[in-house]
Structure 1
Amino acid sequence: MPAPTSLDTQVLHAVRRHTQAENPSSFLTLNSGNEVFTSPAAEGVIVYRRTGRFLVQFGGPFADKGSYEELLRRFVAYAHQQDLLVVGVQLQHEDAAVYAGSGFTVNQIGASWAVRLPDFTLRGTRFMQLRNKISRALRSGLRVTEVEAGEWREQLSGIDNAWLATKNSDARALEFLVGQIGGPAQEHRRLFLGTIEDRPVGYISYAPVFGSRAGWMHDLSRRIPGGSPGLMEAINAHAIETLRAEEVEWLHFGFTPFTGLDESLELPGHSPSFRWLMHFLWEHGEQLYPAKSQLAYKEKWAPQLRIPEYVAFDGCASLSAFAHIFRACNAF
């Protein structure tokens, strides 16, 4: 496993310390393949990927309030010096307000969801169908354990390959806005593996969440095709009981584009046409991203918290910039 570099350590320090934007996906800044912008004039980091003429920024600057706007200003200047534009994705509301005040066009792009674990229970009629699916998976012989990813690298890769083979021929494993297995940050993640007769059949990786709603984020998940329904639900239910025993406060389910859209959450100066596009993609964009099925899985767990997330365009809202977000994610 690669050793953490000083830059990895700097990014981890920044997302742990600078939590004013409360981004539940902030640990994704540690993904391999990301680039990091810093400035000697401002404390903190900005994490991004370059695709075409765009610097696709993840979240806002992870910086203290005294450096936040200065770091953003310097990052935009850095992009413009190269004749590039910035597009920021998964901004939190506090980020979005700063970006809108800095000349960006800001729109809601989706939402993330979270469950407060101390109050969570699967009892009651609301969860009857979920309990039945979990029971069916357990009756099939499913066993769930927390494991070290490095000890199961080959088997996890086999699950990934089998899962990807069920997609269309152009499908790729997503990056950037989803987590990964391995890399220098793996020691900070947790991995729950499902096996049947000692054969791995699915897994869920959980990433740490910092800030006032600290806990874990249900992140990367994969399963082999076929098999018993309820495999992933049973793995997550086991993880929930483990986290509850540890008195963890929150389980986050991460960001899903095109979901939780609410006109009242838009900021002044947003693009009405881009808002229309988000609603259109919610209704008809399953080939671009399976938002409805992703949300359906999250809603099974009755999340109490909806966190709006935003996209910020350097200037006017741009379809090209929006497409490059998906390009940065390896979607095409």
Structure 2
Amino acid sequence: MTRTATATLCLLIAIHVLRDRFQGLSLDATFAHVAGVSLPTVLLGILLTAVSYAAIASYDVLAFGLIGRRLPLRDLLRSGVAATGLGQALGFGLVVGSFVRWRILRDQRVTPKDAAAASALVTSGFLLGLAAVFAVMTLLASHSVSAMAGVSQVEVIAAGLAVLAIYALLLSTRGIELSLFGRKVFLPSRKLMLRQTLLAALDVLPAGLALWILLPAGVEASLGIVLIAYIAALGAGLLSNTPGGIGAFEGVFLIALPEAPVDSLLAGIICFRLIYFGLPFCLALLLLTDAELGTGRTRPLAAALRQAWRPTTKWRSVVRQSCTIDPAPPPSATLDSSRIAQAITKSHRAEANLAFLGDKRFVLSQHADGFVMYGQSGRTLVAMGDPVAPYGSWPELIERFRRHAVELGSHNAVLYKIGPDAAAICRAQGLRTDCIGHEAVLNLKTFDLAGSERRDLRRKARQAEKAGVEIQQHAPGQAPLQGLAEVARIWREGKRGRERSFSTGHFEPDYVARFPVFEARHNGSCCAFISLWVSGDGSEWALDLMRNRADVPAGTMHALVLAAAMAAKASGALRFNLCMAPLSGLEESTSRVESIGHAVYRRGARFHGLQGLRQFKSSFRPDWEPRYLARRPGPALIGAAVAAYRLCRKGPDEPQTAGTQPPLQSAHLSAYCGKAEDGADRGGPAEACVEQARS
């Protein structure tokens, strides 16, 4: 508050002192000068800005080296550009820069104290180098500086030499240790200080040159005077802590160039601000958004911009010499198919069959009794469903998954579509949980068609029967895949060629052949089908694929699901899972996040069919069980939601994010779960359930 008041006071004083200069100001003339800047001049200004910011970004390499953190060069350059771009535009560069460096580098286990220490070193190193460059420039143009400052040339030379003497004294000091934000920091060596000064020169000289070429023709000022005025204005702007140094920056130039037309001078400064502050500010926002979301959506553009702003090979070699980069090797990961298969065969959750999709990676329990399966979107790891393990192993597995994400350098660890028990464990571990919908579950002990509550379901089933629809059930591997494939193709074309994966299955013959299938035939051909997951212990059946032709008779899908539920009940299963209706059942929630989800559910039905899905499942009169998304508290919600959404919308043919562990293919589990690699059936639990239902 004090700094803000001081900066405002300084700005008012400068306006008062320079009020005479503003009497001849014409805004129309100023904007005319701005509009008259040629395209080659703008492009040259952008090029010089890129050179300056390449040097600015390299300060972070030196600073983090001084606090003993050896981080990847690309991440350090990225944090340097983002921290400086936002710090210069918003003001309070030390505070803003510390926050931005922490948010961007937290995947590298950089703490807020680390970021604050590095920001302080960046600022102090820059000011030290700036002072040395300013002293040299003052000595080279002492006559012009004396005329501009109203002091004798001898005094100007004496001041410049005094600054250089102090600089030389600092160069001679070695081995001095300081404590900075809880970090032990040694003063930079002579070689490192000289590199800081070189960075300062490579920073301010191209920037000052950019300002000089952007000044309109009416401003008659030599390059040396503009460079000196720019360095002084930059220092004044930094000390004022106002956004972009506004006020202090312009005031220095108005004093330093008293003969320049005020409208032309301000036009040049406006052009410079747009290029030197505006473009890096936009880039910094992009980089920070990319780090916060971690979705990979902004990565192609961000990567292209980073490539365009990358320093030259010679300059990179100078930076690398000051701080050796030793990125940590990725953690090793092993895949034990037998352990995963054993956990699936013992599981009471049919959803465990998602492991067969081939798009998951796994974190195994320490006690070899279960796993968490996950996918990766950008730098976010998303676990799919509850842990596939005995309940007693869930806390350990969830904690192992979160540690695994940190070891991989992941931005965030998210648990998607977990039940109330897993959500309670996540909350106990400090995670935030938000309800993302409700899962429709039939209690097969009490499920039947009697009573008025399922009158509509009986009517739908009779409609399909009267239309001549015949329901056939097939054991795993026995369904006519050719006919099913044709229905799946027609369905996919109606969905604009989109299949989904991750949280649901997709039509792939080897995958579908693993599960029981219920087929609807009309006029001698297949018109619709559903496939079912069966839990390892046979206690739960669940809907997976639901595919139909566009002209399928009314009630066909209801009849298919009803036939499957009755077959599950006959097999001795306890539950029939109709799966989740996303964002439904949130109307009474008091959570702001869940209220937003309910608004999407109410108003976004025409895009996602959310209300129609809930209505279809409701016709079976199921019990509704909440499902949750667990993530870190705070702004991680956006990245978590986007990552989960992108994974669920990703098609089966889209490439998966590279990782240290290969995805598990169905063939890896075939020897353990009901189907051998040669295609021979081995009598898995799903087949046994269907055969029992038939008998």
Instruction: State whether residues 116 and 249 of structure 1, in contact with CA within 8 Å, keep that contact through their aligned partners in structure 2.
Output: yes
Instruction: State whether residues 149 and 182 of structure 1, in contact with CA within 8 Å, keep that contact through their aligned partners in structure 2.
Output: no
Say which of 379, 385, 389 aligns to 1:59: 385
Equivalent residue letter for 1:157: A
Task: Say if 2:491 is the partner of 1:163.
Answer: yes
Higher relative contact order (CA 8 A, sep 6+): 1
Secondary structure in 2 matching 1:177:
coil
Say which of 99, 119, 138 aligns to 2:465: 138
Distance 1:262 1:16 in 2: 38
Moved more, 233-242 or 47-56: 233-242
| 1:227 to 1:65, Cα distance in 2 relative to 1, 3 A | closer
Match of 1:239 in 2: 564
| 1:162 to 1:105, Cα distance in 2 relative to 1, 3 A | same
Match of 1:276 in 2: 595
Equivalent residue letter for 1:311: L
Q: Summarize deviations over 1:251-295 as a string: whole Å, max 9, x none.
A: 22112211233767x9xxxxx332222211221232553221111
Deviation of residue 331 (structure 1)? 4.9
Deviation of residue 16 (structure 1)? 4.6
Distance 1:283 1:209 in 2: 33
Instruction: State whether residues 42 and 67 of structure 1, in contact with CA within 8 Å, keep that contact through their aligned partners in structure 2.
Output: no
Task: Say if 2:431 is the partner of 1:98.
Answer: no
Query: Structure 2 matches for 1:1-332, cutoff 5 A?
Result: 7-17=336-346, 23=349, 25-38=351-364, 40=366, 43-64=369-390, 67-84=393-410, 85-147=412-474, 148-149=476-477, 151-167=479-495, 169=496, 172-182=498-508, 189-209=515-535, 214-261=539-586, 272-286=591-605, 289-303=608-622, 305-316=623-634, 317-331=636-650
Distance 1:67 1:81 in 2: 21
Secondary structure in 2 matching 1:176:
coil
Deviation of residue 53 (structure 1)? 1.3
Equivalent residue letter for 1:195: R
Equivalent residue letter for 2:340: V
| 1:154 to 1:276, Cα distance in 2 relative to 1, 3 A | same
Instruction: State whether residues 380 and 643 of structure 2, in contact with CA within 8 Å, keep that contact through their aligned partners in structure 1.
Output: yes
Distance 2:595 2:339 in 1: 39
**Aligned residues between the structures:** 314
* TM-score, structure 2 as length reference: 0.42
Moved more, 239-248 or 190-199: 239-248
Instruction: State whether residues 25 and 254 of structure 1, in contact with CA within 8 Å, keep that contact through their aligned partners in structure 2.
Output: no
Deviation of residue 78 (structure 1)? 2.1
Secondary structure in 2 matching 1:60:
coil
Instruction: State whether residues 506 and 545 of structure 2, in contact with CA within 8 Å, keep that contact through their aligned partners in structure 1.
Output: yes
Equivalent residue letter for 1:274: V
RMSD across aligned C-alpha pairs, in angstroms? 2.8
Distance 2:455 2:413 in 1: 46
Deviation of residue 93 (structure 1)? 1.0
| 1:18 to 1:232, Cα distance in 2 relative to 1, 3 A | closer
Instruction: State whether residues 31 and 183 of structure 1, in contact with CA within 8 Å, keep that contact through their aligned partners in structure 2.
Output: no
Equivalent residue letter for 1:114: V
Moved more, 216-225 or 9-18: 9-18
Q: Which runs of 5+ in 1 are unaligned?
A: 1-5, 267-271
Equivalent residue letter for 2:421: E
Q: Which runs of 5+ in 2 are unaligned?
A: 1-334, 652-695
* TM-score, structure 1 as length reference: 0.83
| 1:149 to 1:295, Cα distance in 2 relative to 1, 3 A | farther
Secondary structure in 1 matching 2:498:
coil
Moved more, 54-63 or 122-131: 122-131
Deviation of residue 193 (structure 1)? 0.5
Distance 1:274 1:284 in 2: 16
| 1:210 to 1:301, Cα distance in 2 relative to 1, 3 A | farther
Q: Which has the higher strand share?
A: 1
Secondary structure in 2 matching 1:175:
coil
Secondary structure in 1 matching 2:608:
coil
- Large movers: runs of 4+ above 6 Å: none
Distance 1:82 1:246 in 2: 43
Distance 1:321 1:40 in 2: 26
Secondary structure in 2 matching 1:318:
helix
Instruction: State whether residues 432 and 630 of structure 2, in contact with CA within 8 Å, keep that contact through their aligned partners in structure 1.
Output: yes
Distance 2:435 2:350 in 1: 16
| 1:137 to 1:66, Cα distance in 2 relative to 1, 3 A | closer
| 1:59 to 1:133, Cα distance in 2 relative to 1, 3 A | closer
Deviation of residue 117 (structure 1)? 2.5
Distance 2:613 2:630 in 1: 23
| 1:93 to 1:288, Cα distance in 2 relative to 1, 3 A | farther
The alignment-based identity, stated in percent, is 22
